[in-house]
Structure 1
Amino acid sequence: MELRYALHFLCLTLPLCTSDNNLSSHSLLEPYDFLFDTAVEAYSKGDWFSVILNMEKALRNEATVRSVKARCRVSCANQTAFGEPLGGLGVPIPGAGSVEDLGFFQKILKRAECVKSCETEKLGPLTVHQVSEEVELEFKKRTPYNYLQVAYFKINKLNQAVAAANTFFQANPDHMEMRQNLEYYRMMEGVQQEDFKDLEAKPHMAEFLLGKSYYSDDSFGLAAEHFERAVDEYFIADEECRALCEGAYNYDGYNYMEYSADLFQTMTDHFLQVLNCKQHCSVELASTAGGNKPFEDFLPSHFNYLQFSYYNSEYGTLLYDDIKVTMTSKQLNGTQRVLLDGVISDDECRELHRLSSAAALKGDGYRGRPSPHSQSEMFQGVTILKAVKLGQEGKVPLKSARLFFDLSEKVRKVLELYFRLETPLYFSYSHLVCRSAIDEKQEDRKDLSHPVHADNCLLISELNECIKEPPAYTHRDYSAILYLNDDFEGGDFIFTELDAKTVTAEVHPQCGRVVGFGAGKENPHGVRAVTKGERCAVALWFTLDPAHEEKVWIISVV
């Protein structure tokens, strides 16, 4: 200790000892145990500025020593890898023979010299930074921050005092006095929540916990970003931890003067100690300061969180666990498109189908024509408003009308979340529709059940144009079709190019399936001919403009 303090005195008196942050052979980093002792002494005298100056510097220097040692050992390991053959000797393997032993120990000596030179150049004489186990324990327990929080409080630097107090408390959660201090700070004017920082938080753990927080809030895009950074920081921290294991041998209760192992036994003992330390790095990195036990499967859990974050970022945040994203815009060869399955149950499909049979009118919503689109099919439908009125009159079960209402609302919420809209969707029009094939009119049929069109613009396929002006429903922004059955032939939903001929994607209806899409020119669509049976679905159109909200929804809210 006297030698180190003498060197510290020289550093204060000689011009060669500079305080330049770029460490070199011409600078000497002050030993952090000396700075810690100086700060503790200043604390006993009430010299708060000296406490802060020396304790903050002690923390910086301790971190610098760790970082330099890790970087030097990693760098030197890369320069003197054992897998590289020596000239004329091959790959050095200890015990293979006298010449081979020389090659192996040559690597050992080169690495030792490399590490020693690197650390001396950046830190000064190595004995200066050898500290006692007691001092190491004080820094591990974050004791410097206990002193700092008092010193900062005494000079009325509340933000720094709160950060120091919180940093100490993270590693000492059973410290009742500090818990009381933090509660006191929370009540003080001018103290903000963001002041409660952990100044010693490991980057990999901080990113992981942030990722978990965003994941819990269903902010999957942000969660993925933080989990990605957490993985990168984890491997950096793991490399540093493993490098720091390659320190001096810990005699672990033995007096080194009594240790009498031979050369290879000594090497074995030391190497096993290093391996045990490196193996423990995974536990250390999975532990939070003051935590009782490490996170289980810590590193694998990053990738588990990432896969779900990627999935939900790509496919949107869904409100219901039983909903499956079957196809995305990319898989449907377009933009603003999605195919969902499991949106409603088989029983719910059957109930809506019965409602259609009981309440639907031929051509309802389209001036009573048998089919507005094809002479080879019958068309019947019912709006929510009509279903509600019939339910109130007792002509259909009111619960069926309510189900129509509720399931349409469920689809709205799902689309709103999937497309990650910043403003809510409002219903523009809702229609429970069944199309039935007229058997005697199916021969040589070439038309579509519903011609290709866009929902908010007039499609002029000959010009590959879609003009957004009346009589088109220009206020419509999104559309969805909720399918109720699949026991029919034909009737597939298609997306096309603006030419109305080039099919880009095709969807076969089935119970509980929803196809959702933007209502503009990017998504021309139509329905192939229903050639046998009856095809039923709920057609839903949405707007971002509340002025165009469907009347029934306004009535329901009131």
Structure 2
Amino acid sequence: MSSDGLNRRERVVNRNGDTNEENMCRMVSREVSLERPQNQSIMKRVMSVMALSIAILLMIYYTTTQCNDTKELVMASATQSIKDSPIRRQVMCSQDYNEDRVRFPSCAPQRCGRFVSDSVITESETKHLLLVAKRGLSLGGSSGGSTILCLHTGVLSMANNFVNIYKLIERTQRKEKDLKELFTEKDLQVYRTVTNKIRKRIAIHFGIPSAQLYLTAHTFFRRAKNPQNKYNEYWRRHVDKQNVKFVDFTSLLYLSTYGADFSGGRFIFTDEMSNQTIEPKFGRVAAFTSGSENEHFFERVTSGTRYALLMTFTCDPKFAVNGLQVDMPKVWHGFAAMVWRIWTSNPFDGNSV
């Protein structure tokens, strides 16, 4: 640029009353004002990235936690043959037995755990009880896919409620003849033999006198299918002793096989670090202490029919049941009536094994 042009530019600047320094400050101020929105935009982007990162970390944590909750160890598969010695797992006892240990020191669990065996009950005994279960359960049917029948009290699932098959027989004046046709003395003898075998095996395993362990009326056959509605969601987690306080030991005799007779329906202990799964097998016995150390559930049955006999045992003789008799309607009053009130006020049907 020529010297004349420079002089003219300087004169224009001077006419506006601005010095070169002032003009420079104004230019810097404009640059700063332009940079401020840019900085705000950068900050917004940084905050968005941080929020996204936190969300991803939370998702990873949640997924990891869920994976830990559902991590599974198969304690006993349906293809195994557990004949020689049972599969055992020892767990730390909960405080659920503190009161029982004071009242029944030689019976209440001092060490807790679970075991599985395929050699406690014979094949012929298992087949016989399956026929008994099918015959009795055919008289009822739950709306929720899980139907139960207790031989001791006559409790039977019917739609959304319970009925008593022995009372039904009385009301229809069929009484003993029909009862004998429904459950024969041979049926009851096999039932008594099986429950007694399992009681003794539990006593041996947990080191308690078998004479001080009693079968309770919360003992029943169960038929489980894929439910058609939401009534009685039997697959919920639960603790037996929290449902029924006097129960100390729980056992199962499976009358059908996972993968052959039904799908779903596996029995699962919900341990802190990982779940332990038992796959039902015809003739298999699983038993465990009934407190919080053995929280559990069994999966929703997705196809087929799952049959099992649940047996619970107590150290309290007040809740013991006596041997079954064919003329059960005659002894309905008294103890059976008391048990019926327990069933209908706090039934074991909705969320038990």
Q: TM-score, length-normalised on structure 2? A: 0.50
**In 1, distance between residues paired with 2:281 and 2:209?**
30
Following TM superposition, by how much is the alpha carbon of 1:383 offset from its aligned partner in structure 2, in angstroms? 2.1
In the alignment, is the contact (CA less than 8 A) between 2:188 and 2:325 conserved in 1?
Answer: no
Following TM superposition, by how much is the alpha carbon of 1:362 offset from its aligned partner in structure 2, in angstroms? 6.3
Secondary structure of the 1:451 match is coil
Task: Give the direction of change, closer, same or farther, for the CA distance of 1:554–1:543 in structure 2 (3 Å limit).
Answer: farther
**In 2, distance between residues paired with 1:358 and 1:504?**
35
1:347 to 124, 129, 148: 124
Following TM superposition, by how much is the alpha carbon of 1:504 offset from its aligned partner in structure 2, in angstroms? 2.4
Counterpart of 2:88 in structure 1 is 328
Instruction: Structure 2 unaligned segments of length 5 or more: list them.
Output: 1-81, 93-110, 155-164, 167-175, 332-353
Counterpart of 1:492 in structure 2 is 266
Is 1:450 the counterpart of 2:235? The answer is yes
Matches within 5 A, 1:9-408: 324-330=84-90, 335-360=112-137, 370=142, 375=144, 377-384=145-152, 386=154, 393-408=180-195
Q: TM-score, length-normalised on structure 1? A: 0.33
1:549 to 310, 320, 343: 320
Counterpart of 1:480 in structure 2 is 251
**In 1, distance between residues paired with 2:277 and 2:177?**
35
Task: Give the direction of change, closer, same or farther, for the CA distance of 1:405–1:391 in structure 2 (3 Å limit).
Answer: farther
Secondary structure of the 1:456 match is helix
2:220 to 431, 434, 452: 431
In the alignment, is the contact (CA less than 8 A) between 1:480 and 1:517 conserved in 2?
Answer: yes
**How many percent identity over aligned positions?**
24
Letter in 2 for 1:379: T
Q: Deviations over 1:163-186 (max 9, x none)?
A: xxxxxxxxxxxxxxxxxxxxxxxx
Task: Give the direction of change, closer, same or farther, for the CA distance of 1:418–1:390 in structure 2 (3 Å limit).
Answer: farther
Aligned residues: CA RMSD: 3.7
In the alignment, is the contact (CA less than 8 A) between 1:328 and 1:339 conserved in 2?
Answer: yes
Q: Deviations over 1:346-404 (max 9, x none)?
A: 332221111112122666xxxxx715xxx3x2424242454997885333332122211
**In 1, distance between residues paired with 2:177 and 2:215?**
20
Q: Deviations over 1:243-266 (max 9, x none)?
A: xxxxxxxxxxxxxxxxxxxxxxxx
**In 2, distance between residues paired with 1:548 and 1:554?**
18
Q: Which has the higher strand share?
A: 2
Letter in 2 for 1:526: F
Is 1:525 the counterpart of 2:296? The answer is yes
In the alignment, is the contact (CA less than 8 A) between 1:361 and 1:380 conserved in 2?
Answer: no
**In 1, distance between residues paired with 2:245 and 2:85?**
28
In the alignment, is the contact (CA less than 8 A) between 1:454 and 1:525 conserved in 2?
Answer: yes
**In 2, distance between residues paired with 1:524 and 1:391?**
40
In the alignment, is the contact (CA less than 8 A) between 1:337 and 1:517 conserved in 2?
Answer: yes
Letter in 2 for 1:427: L
**Count of residue pairs the alignment pairs up:** 205
Q: Which has the higher helix share?
A: 1
Counterpart of 1:535 in structure 2 is 306
Counterpart of 1:290 in structure 2 is none
Following TM superposition, by how much is the alpha carbon of 1:479 offset from its aligned partner in structure 2, in angstroms? 0.6
Q: Which has the higher contact order (CA 8 A, sep 6+)?
A: 2
